[in-house]
Structure 1
């Protein structure tokens, strides 16, 4: 069972990276504001600002936000290709319609335990985690829990669920 979870986390990370690379070419740079680094409860993001909070910590990042729609699927992505903590960092969510979260991936080329890449993922129907979405105009907030990577210093502990709250402030929706 742990092997399946590890495969899911790896697949989700790969999907997030591929999505980020795919949509970066048509990203909207208007949300290039750093997120606050305070450990206090985050304030609602200012209009047009995308943010990510993972495991109770606001990610300090300069996100490019991309929102693209094809058919009934909405792909949302945040990218910071030069993040101090996580290296090439991406956060993505795939929605079916505007109210059902199909997948969430949070990935960095560094920042995981013991020098490994950082990875948290959720997939509808896969064991572990949960996600829901709320919409306010063209801003989507995805909250829930994803499955995190295994700490290689204690691999028998297995992966753990990690809470997240992601705000995708879409100034435009490509294809929508």
Structure 2
């Protein structure tokens, strides 16, 4: 028997988040290619600036997903791993503390932190030969973090949708 709960629809904010995250990764790639060709470092700076709207969109999605996860699990949910555990319909009958989160959450978090660290080092080493190295490392981390973030956002949004109250088509 399916259980339906009146939840916020987080798909739109999830799609916006994924789009902005992908844009940050694409801009990072473009900036690094430009760096390899001896171009301006302002392209890499633009990737840092684009992170702000992506972060805002992610926070809006995350607040909705956290709200939904608490409604589904009737349990205090704050971390991404807890949102996953609460949202996974396959684990609905398993006690919350025994549920398993996605193994991709930690790699996503580490890739994101590595990207930020490389961005900081890249900014500090702006006019040195090491700049291009950290620009490239930052881009590789950005690609990994963006791919994992988009997968997690999409998967959590779709899992939560399975618990939502079905609406009649007009």
What is the TM-score when the length of structure 1 is the normalising length?
Answer: 0.32
Tell which structure's C-alpha radius of gyration is larger: 2
Q: Which has the higher strand share?
A: 1
Q: Which has the higher helix share?
A: 2
What is the TM-score when the length of structure 2 is the normalising length?
Answer: 0.33
Q: Which has the higher contact order (CA 8 A, sep 6+)?
A: 2
